[in-house]
Amino acid sequence: MKSTAKLGMMALATLAAASASAVNYNGDLLVGFTSGTGNDFVYDLGPITALSYGQQWSLGSSLAGFNLNTVNWGVIGDKNSSGVRNAWTTTAGTTPLSLASATDWGNLNTPTASIFQNFSATGPGQTLTIGATDDNSWNQQTINGTLTTQYVNAYENPNVAGLGVANFFQMTANGSAPLYLGNFGLAADGTLTYTVPEPSTGALLLGMGLLGLTFRRALGARS
């Protein structure tokens, strides 16, 4: 009896320690990389409020085990700020799904928090290496998971494949259309860069043309 009780107490202590080690999600943006096998890599980019034009993260050494020409990667995040629930995601070009309600936002937040709980600490620059077959890996949560609560099934796939650019959007849980914020780009040396594209020359010229037309009409009305 004493031995059984001791084993039971040890088991409870182990569970308590595991629970204590789980990190609560703080709303930071996460970028994840997976090849579908081996280990996935997830990096904490920090809060959306700290994101700036031209900001770069040198991830080359951490991505050395991946073929960057074929790796699947993306950025996700969400935060409830005084009842305003926003979420952020990259896509391969298409506009992501809108969030109609707080329930939709919660369905997205749960898998994001499940990924984040495996970090050892919170804050920008924290890293996570996790087996690609783990239920809370980047691979399972955002691409190949079969559970209804996993990110890809509760919301959608945020990944793009290989080198290049991923469009970045903000969704507010009020049914409004997603807002395009800019893009993240992955370079061959493993550098991740955030940019906000400037208006195209054509759009600029069109705007100037419309302004000139308005000015000429105004002059005509005066004469």
Per-residue DSSP letters for 1-57? -HHHHHHHHHHHHHHHHHHHHPPPP-S-EEEEEE-SSSEEEEEEEE-GGG--TT-EE
* Half-sphere exposure at residue 192, Cβ-oriented, CA atoms within 13 angstroms: 25
75 falls within a domain: yes
63 falls within a domain: yes
CA distances to 28, 64, 127 from 193, in Å: 17, 18, 17
For 51-177, where are the alpha helices, taking DSSP H only? 102-116, 138-139, 151-154
Cβ(74)–Cβ(33) under 8 Å? no
Q: CA angle, 39 as apex, 67 and 185 as ends, to 5°?
A: 45
Phi, psi of 152 (to 5 degrees): -65, -30
123 falls within a domain: yes
Q: Coil, strand or helix: which one is 64? A: coil
Cβ(80)–Cβ(101) under 8 Å? no
CA–CA distance, 40 with 127 (Å, rounded to integer): 11
pLDDT attached to residue 146: 97
pLDDT attached to residue 24: 97
CA–CA distance, 148 with 154 (Å, rounded to integer): 6
pLDDT attached to residue 169: 98
Based on the number of CB atoms within 10 Å of its own CB, is 90 exposed (0-12), middle (13-18) or buried (19 or more)? buried
Q: Which range of residues forms the domain containing residue 92?
A: 18-222
Cβ(132)–Cβ(60) under 8 Å? no
> Taking every pair of C-alpha atoms in the chain, what is the biggest distance, in angstroms?
105
5 falls within a domain: no
208 falls within a domain: yes
3 falls within a domain: no
Number of domains within the chain: 1
pLDDT attached to residue 184: 98
8 falls within a domain: no
Beta strand 39-46 pairing with 179-186:
unpaired
Give the global pTM: 0.81
Stretches in the chain below the pLDDT threshold 50: 1-20, 201-221, 223
pLDDT attached to residue 107: 97
13 falls within a domain: no
